[in-house]
Amino acid sequence: MVPPHREFCPQCGTPTRTGLRERRQGERSPEELRRNRRNVLVIGAAMVAGFAIIGPFSLFGGDIDLGSGDGQRAPLVIEAEQIYAAFRDDAEAADERFDDREMVVSGEFLRIVPDSGGNPDLRFRTSNPGGPLGADLAPISHEAAARLRPGQRVTVNCQRMAGYGNAHWLQNCSIETPPEGSATPSASPSPSSATPAPTEGNSG
């Protein structure tokens, strides 16, 4: 016997009315819906918290940084001429590509130009004779810069790219030690300046 106010049998759980049985098979009760909504909210909050802990995350196909979480990219290894060409062809795209990016730049050394403080700045040769690529040298590389010779291939490690308009240059650069045997060979003494070997039998 089931009391009249009961919707289900306390022993087997069978609905006491046909309407309840149909609703139980095809619909969810308001309590079930509230419980499901609560579960969805809890799961969503947990996912947001997880993304915040992991680091930068792009929902629409961007990069996901699961490394150190500091957002830094690996140094870009590139030629000086490629940097010049990038700004010549599309300065806006080049700004986006090189912005706040550590770069290892190689190219042909052109000359040293003192800056406003008298410190040496390096110039790389480019395809535009009037538009060399400049590099501000860190103090640790000032002595090495004095030993460079025009035409020598040199590599610098720079912290960032700076500039405005059509003027762009590398900042806080250090000259990397060239591989053994890659240094420009010193010029051989000319025949006129060489000391002649003593001639056998010369009494002079």
Residue 162 in domain: yes
The pLDDT assigned to 200 comes to 42
Give the pair of three-digit tokens for residue 201.
Answer: 């039998």
The reply to whether 49 and 139 lie within a common domain is: no
Residue 145 in domain: yes
Residue in 99, 104, 98 with CA at minimum distance from that of residue 86:
98
The pLDDT assigned to 85 comes to 92
Residue 45 in domain: yes
> For the chain, what is the domain count?
2
Average the pLDDT over each of 47-61, 70-84, 186-200 and give the range with the smallest value: 186-200
Using alpha carbons only, what angle is made at residue 114 by residues 112 and 115, rounded to the nearest 5 degrees?
130
CA distance 138 to 198: 50
Q: Are strands 167-175 and 153-164 parallel, antiparallel or unpaired?
A: antiparallel
Which residue did the predictor score with more confidence, 82 or 14?
82
Query: What residue numbers bound the domain in which 47 lies?
Result: 1-66
3-state secondary structure the chain: CCCCCCCECCCCCCECCHHHHHHHHHCCCHHHHHHHHHHHHHHHHHHHHHHHHHCCCCCCCCCCCCCCCCCCCCCEEEEHHHHHHHHHHCHHHHHHHHCCCCEEEEEEEEEEEECCCCCEEEEECCCCCCCCEEEEECHHHHHHHCCCCCCCEEEEEEEEEEEECCEEEEEEEEECCCCCCCCCCCCCCCCCCCCCCCCCCCCC
Last residue of a domain, one of 39, 66, 93: 66
Measured from the Cβ of residue 87, the count of other Cβ atoms closer than 10 Å reads 21
The sign of the CA dihedral 146, 150, 155, 158 is: positive
Last residue of a domain, one of 42, 66, 90: 66
Output the pTM of the full model: 0.52
Residue 181 in domain: no
Chain segment 26-71, per-residue pLDDT in tens: 556 677 777 877 887 888 788 777 666 655 544 444 444 444 444 5
The pLDDT assigned to 19 comes to 57
The pLDDT assigned to 48 comes to 74
The pLDDT assigned to 100 comes to 83
Residue 203 in domain: no
Average the pLDDT over each of 64-78, 89-103, 164-178 and give the range with the smallest value: 64-78
Give the pair of three-digit tokens for residue 140.
Answer: 């640790």
Q: How far is CA 30 from CA 13, 27, 34, 35, in A?
A: 19, 9, 6, 9
